[in-house]
Amino acid sequence: MSVWQAIVLGFVQGATEYAPVSSSGHLILVPWLFGWQRLGSDDFAKTFDVALHMGTLLGAVIYFRRDLWHYLVAWLHTLRSRSIETVDERVAWALVIGTIPGALVGALFEGPIQGTLGAPWLIAVMLAIFGVVLYAVDRRSPSVRGMESIGLRTGLYLGLAQAMALQPGISRSGVTMTAARAIGLDRETAARFSFLLSLPIIAGAGLFKATDLVQTGFQGYGAQFFWGFVASAVSGFLVIWGLLKYLKRHDFKVFMLYRLAVAGLVVGLIAAGVREATI
């Protein structure tokens, strides 16, 4: 994989991590579509994917720096006071509780899921199904709850939804937003909490894979890691900024149409024999 291909994948990762279209699915489909070689072994390629996720983590941390500081201070205050009283304290604990299901499922099943469920045809199916579900739930659900309504039960519920998204094509942000809209959170709040909830999971995966890099090094691909990381950080920040503004006035229809279009393209290429159904 060349440096420019790594940059393209960095922009793809940043553009799709927070938009409800599945970044993991796109990181599989783009090289599959263009016939690009993976970066080294499967394990090393996965480490590169996690490095791109860490770029989007950086972009999100920069964007949400004030929110994260407020929630951290609020959470530490609850430990001292042994009570949960303010909105920031409830949201902080909702994020903590919501992180647990995804962390457990990721630790136990991410290897088998990535090894057996990353076929392009299956990604296409997941893109289509969960894109339609997102739009249908959004259209039927009221926007009656904001950030101030989020508590521990909401955090656990959305955390369980997030845990489903290890299957490429579902989309972590997409399924979490779907679940949030189903219980009446407005679109901006659904997206904001979804973004915040993803940060501990991404950070944990990054720290886990960092131990592999310490042992193996960059194997001559240091430039690809660096520029892919930078591209994903920049594009991730811009997508968060743009998406939160977009969802104040628009619904999820454009994302459903995009997911259906990508799914149709993948199925069409497989049916025409241009690309294999599996990798």
What would the pLDDT profile of 177-213 be if each residue is shown by its tens digit? 999 999 999 999 999 999 999 999 888 877 776 776 6
Q: What is the mean pLDDT of residues 116-135?
A: 92
Residue 279 lies in a domain: no
Residue 278 lies in a domain: no
Packing angle, helices 187-216 and 222-246, rounded to 10: 170
87-118: string of b/e by CB count within 10 Å (b at 16+)? ebbbbbbbbbbbbebbbebbeeeeeebbeebb
- How far from the centroid of its chain's Cα atoms is residue 215's Cα? 27
Task: Extract the tokens encoding 119.
Answer: 């076929």
Q: What is the mean pLDDT of residues 208-237?
A: 82
Structural domain including 249 reads 3-271
Which DSSP symbol is given to 271?
A: H
pLDDT digits (tens, 9 = 90+) for 54-82: 899 999 999 999 999 999 999 999 999 99
Q: Which residues contact 4 (CB under 8 A, 6 or more apart)?
A: none
Q: What is the mean pLDDT of residues 158-181?
A: 93
Task: Count structural domains, the chain.
Answer: 1
State yes or no: pLDDT of 43 exceeds 70: no
Residue 259 lies in a domain: yes
Confidence of residue 164 (pLDDT cuts 50, 70, 90): confident
43: burial class by Cβ within 10 Å (0-12, 13-18, 19+)? exposed
Return the minimum-mean-pLDDT range out of 87-91, 114-118, 197-201: 114-118
Residue 239 lies in a domain: yes
Residue 25 lies in a domain: yes
State yes or no: pLDDT of 41 exceeds 70: no
Residue 151 lies in a domain: yes
Residue 276 lies in a domain: no
- pLDDT for position 90: 96
State yes or no: pLDDT of 111 exceeds 90: no
Whole-angstrom distance, CA of residue 61 vs CA of residue 195: 10
Bridge partners of 185, per DSSP, are 145
- pLDDT for position 117: 67
Task: Extract the tokens encoding 139.
Answer: 């259209």
Q: What is the mean pLDDT of residues 263-274?
A: 96
- Contact 134/174 with Cβ under 8 angstroms? yes
- pLDDT for position 106: 78
Residue 85 lies in a domain: yes
